[in-house]
């Protein structure tokens, strides 16, 4: 099972949106992917993101490459994952 794939729901581990969930919309190259919340659901705008800042979950939705936020929102509702994507996760920051 490929971990980084289109439709995979992930948790952002870095930045001001750390702990929020997003969906992979497109794979740009070996290091970067295009993700979206969508903004109405989890607050994450569509943007390019380093895969080192993502933690994949075991959940996946069936979407086309480059799907719109409306299509993704509809698929999340069909799969019953809207509440799963809305909930935030507490990220533990290691103390050095």
pTM of the predicted structure, to 2 decimals: 0.89
CA distance 44 to 61: 17
Q: Domain extents for the chain? A: 8-86
Of 78, 74, 60, 76, the C-alpha closest to 24 is 60
Neighbours of 14 (CB within 10 A): 13
Q: Which pair of tokens denotes residue 48?
A: 């390019």
pLDDT digit string (tens) for the chain, length 96 residues: 468 999 999 999 998 899 999 999 999 999 999 999 899 999 999 999 999 999 999 999 999 999 999 999 999 999 999 999 999 988 776 677
What's the CATH number of domain 8-86, 2.30.30.30, 3.40.50.10490, 3.30.300.210, 3.40.50.300?
2.30.30.30
Q: What are the backbone dihedrals phi and psi of residue 81, each rounded to the nearest 5 degrees, phi first? A: -105, 5
């Amino acid at each position: 099972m490929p971990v980084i794939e289109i439709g995979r729901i992930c948790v952002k581990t870095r930045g001001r949106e750390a702990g929020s969930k997003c969906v992979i919309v497109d794979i740009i190259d070996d290091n970067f992917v295009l993700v979206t919340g969508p903004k109405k659901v989890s607050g994450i705008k569509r943007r390019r993101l380093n895969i080192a800042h993502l933690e994949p979950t075991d959940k996946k939705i069936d979407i086309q490459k480059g799907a719109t936020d409306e299509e993704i929102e509809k698929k999340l509702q069909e799969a019953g994952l809207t509440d799963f994507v809305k909930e935030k996760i507490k990220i533990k920051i290691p103390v050095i």
